[in-house]
A and B are shown apart, each in its own frame.
Chain A
Amino acid sequence: MANEQAAQQVFKNGLRAIAPMLPGVVPFGMTTGIAATEAGLAPLMSMGMSLIIFAGAAQLVIAQLIGDGALPLIIVLTGLIINLRMVMYSASLAPYLGHLSTRWKAAIAYLLTDQAYAVSITHFMHAGVGQHRQWFYMGTAFPLWVLWLLATAAGIWLGAAVPPGWQIGFALPLVFLVLLVPVIRDRPSAAAALTGGGVALAAHDAPYHLGLTIGAIAGVATGVSAELALHRRRSSP
């Protein structure tokens, strides 16, 4: 009984920590629902995407690519490249949550998002970890999931009722700008971001809608080279 109460308390701490992130999810999710409808997806497909893929940026880009008539193989590739960052999130949570049962890890994995990761890893690193740490993660991740489904449903339902002049699609780069700040920690990661953004912009008209993918690969390559160059300079006399 005391155990259950402690877990509940930790869950609530997670809820409190994620609260400031929640308002950004609403326009982002609505935009995703609207974009999916505009791309010609049936309401059930748009909801299926939120439930099965559950990754905002990927869903938004996938909807745009389907609307533009891109090749299915390219759409799958682009979606997975956008979500590749989840490997890093998952790996960096492993020291804190890797000891749990497979069932727990599957639930944690399904609910993994930029926001839940950012808030949880900061908490685990600075506030330390207790016995019920997985409940802290759940407290951050679960409300995002609920809100995401509600917001995409609202976007699908409202559809064209939101005037295009409001440009609520601008919420996507705004939300991701905030997520970009903490991942630029040093000069190599700044170089990765500058190259990724610059090349994706230059390759905007690349064939098969590969601009984002080319930008991402160029950015990672630049970050790795910059880190290696920095090491070499430090280790040389």
Chain B
Amino acid sequence: MSAFAIWSMIVIIGLGTFLLRFSGLQLLGQGSMPDWLARTLRYVPAAVIAAIVVPAIVHGGPAPGFSLDNTRLLAGLIAAAVAWSTRSVLATLGIGMASLWALEWFAGNLP
């Protein structure tokens, strides 16, 4: 891909993202939005964040897929439990990464 094509994409996505971020504040002001739109938008964060997280855990590592070699599966489950119970970024990050490294070490992938 040419440098021009990449810069164009960055600028287009950047402008589009700004408009998405600006739209609610500007268009709604202090008013309310149509029911169908509110109802649709209500489920966007849960659906999008889950669609990012699940494949990143299952297919993101060096041993993708549902196999015992994929240490991200178990580390991800542990991290999900920590996230659910603590809602803490620090705890989830710390325990999640530590679990991954411990499992990798156990599997003989780390020195």
Residues of A whose CB lies within 8 Å of any CB of B are 20-21, 23-24, 27, 41-42, 45, 48-49, 52-55, 57-58, 61-62, 66, 69, 72, 75-76, 79-95, 97-99, 102, 105-106, 108-110, 112, 164-184, 188-190, 192-201, 204, 211-212, 215-220, 222-224, 227
A99 to B104, CA, bound (A): 52
CB distance from B88 to the nearest CB of A (A): 7
Q: Which of B21, B38, B56 makes the CB contact (< 8 A) with A90?
A: B21
Q: Which of B13, B18, B50, B100 makes the CB contact (< 8 A) with A194?
A: B50
CB distance from B104 to the nearest CB of A (A): 7
Instruction: Tell me, yes or no, whether B68 is within 8 Å of chain A by CB.
Output: no
Q: Which of B33-72 contact A (CB under 8 A)?
A: 33, 38-62, 72
Q: Known: A193-B49, A224-B43. Is A94-B10 also a contact (CB below 8 A)?
A: no
Q: Known: A91-B41, A102-B26, A198-B54. Is A79-B46 also a contact (CB below 8 A)?
A: no
Q: Is the CB of A80 within 8 A of B20?
A: yes
State the total of A-B contacts with C-beta under 8 angstroms: 287
**What are 28 A-B contacts with C-beta separation under 8 Å?**
A49-B14, A52-B13, A55-B17, A57-B52, A66-B1, A79-B13, A83-B16, A87-B23, A98-B28, A98-B30, A105-B25, A105-B26, A109-B26, A167-B104, A173-B76, A175-B89, A177-B76, A188-B43, A194-B50, A196-B46, A197-B51, A200-B50, A200-B55, A215-B54, A219-B50, A219-B51, A223-B47, A227-B43
Collect the chain B residues with CB atoms within 8 Å of residue A198's CB: 54
Q: Is the CB of A106 within 8 A of B22?
A: yes
Q: Is the CB of B47 within 8 A of A220?
A: yes
Collect the chain B residues with CB atoms within 8 Å of residue A223's CB: 42-43, 46-47
Residues of B whose CB lies within 8 Å of any CB of A are 1, 3, 5-14, 16-18, 20-26, 28-30, 33, 38-62, 72, 75-76, 79-80, 83-84, 87-90, 92-93, 96-97, 100-101, 104, 109-110
Q: Is the CB of B50 within 8 A of A220?
A: no
A103 to B30, CA, bound (A): 17
Q: Is the CB of B47 within 8 A of A193?
A: yes
* Minimum CB distance partner of B26 in chain A: A105
Collect the chain A residues with CB atoms within 8 Å of residue B10's CB: 45, 48-49, 52-53
CB distance from B56 to the nearest CB of A (A): 4
Collect the chain A residues with CB atoms within 8 Å of residue B11's CB: 52
4 nearest A-B residue pairs (beta carbon): A219-B47, A223-B43, A90-B24, A91-B24
Describe A's contact surface by its main secondary structure: helix
A85 to B42, CA, bound (A): 9
A216 to B104, CA, bound (A): 31
Q: Which of A21, A79, A87, A173 makes the CB contact (< 8 A) with B60?
A: A173
A192 to B48, CA, bound (A): 9
Q: Is the CB of B93 within 8 A of A171?
A: yes
Q: Which of B25, B40, B48, B100 makes the CB contact (< 8 A) with A167?
A: B100
CB distance from B30 to the nearest CB of A (A): 5
Collect the chain A residues with CB atoms within 8 Å of residue B20's CB: 80, 83-84, 86-87, 90
